Amino acid sequence: MIRVERAPEPADFDRKVRQPGLRAIAEMTGAPELPKRRGRPREVIAASPDEIPADKFPPFWTEALPELLEGYGRVCAYMSFYIERVTGAASVDHMLPKSTDWREIYEWCNYRLACSLMNSRKNAYQDVLDPFEIEDGWFRMELVGYQVIPDPDLPPDIHEKVQATIDRLKLNDYECLRLREEYAEEFYRGDISQARLRRHAPFLAREIEQQAGRG
């Protein structure tokens, strides 16, 4: 994992995601005197937004997926690999889970672009570090087996959080290791350029460049 800089909120995000989401919450809690809209009114299911089950919030966040893909270069925030068109499964991850705070469910700043595998592994757990808040160098990679490891010089508390993130997301499972190895082998053979490696596997590219510079 490497640090990700937050992309600007799209100009139409409020219209496409935030306002429809807040309207749905108002309907599901029986808010009075709501302006009429097209379609069937939603059923009142809770007395307050805090009581709405996480799986009942309408998924308006999916409307933001094209902008997330564009804004983050189609790179998964957690695995640091390019999410391929057609065959890749991109998703919107809520950094703060939907079950934690309804106020963040329809907010751009709470969205992270994730492949479906990383999204499912992160789930609603809150022991995964935020790619927006980590520092570059916290996560390192050894280039023999392509294992992701915490930087050995990290303070103990940060080291523990980095390791917990690696474990939760299973960043060193067989498929993750093989994907890093395949990209590296293609690069070393000259089948792909350094620029393409940076676009498709930025964490791996950074580690190869930095470790080559120290060699």
The bridge status of strand 90-94 relative to strand 111-115 is: antiparallel
Pairwise CA distance, residues 104 & 106, whole Å: 6
Query: What pLDDT, in 10s, does the model give residues 2-43?
Result: 999 999 999 999 999 999 999 999 999 999 888 888 888 899
* 19 and 118 in a common domain: yes
CA-closest candidate to residue 40, choices 52, 27, 53, 30? 27
**Does 134 map to a domain?**
no
* 109 and 21 in a common domain: yes
**Does 7 map to a domain?**
no
Final residue belonging to a domain, choices 122, 157, 188? 122
* 99 and 27 in a common domain: yes
| CB-CB contact of 96 with 110 (8 Å) | yes
Which amino acid is present at 79?
Answer: M
Domain that holds residue 188: 139-214
* 30 and 68 in a common domain: yes
What pLDDT shows up at residue 39? 83
| CB-CB contact of 179 with 187 (8 Å) | no
| CB-CB contact of 95 with 130 (8 Å) | yes
* 105 and 151 in a common domain: no
* 118 and 17 in a common domain: yes
* 176 and 115 in a common domain: no
* 66 and 22 in a common domain: yes
Backbone angle region of 135, left / alpha / beta, with phi > 0 → left and psi within -120 to 50 → alpha: beta
Specify the number of domains making up the chain. Answer: 2
* 157 and 66 in a common domain: no
**Does 174 map to a domain?**
yes
| CB-CB contact of 123 with 94 (8 Å) | no
Which amino acid is present at 208?
Answer: I
CA-closest candidate to residue 149, choices 85, 203, 196, 105? 203
* 45 and 116 in a common domain: yes
* 100 — pLDDT class (breaks 50, 70, 90): very high
pLDDT at 215 over 70: no
Maximum alpha-carbon separation in the chain: 68
| CB-CB contact of 202 with 165 (8 Å) | no
Query: What pLDDT, in 10s, does the model give residues 146-177?
Result: 999 999 999 999 999 999 999 999 999 999 99
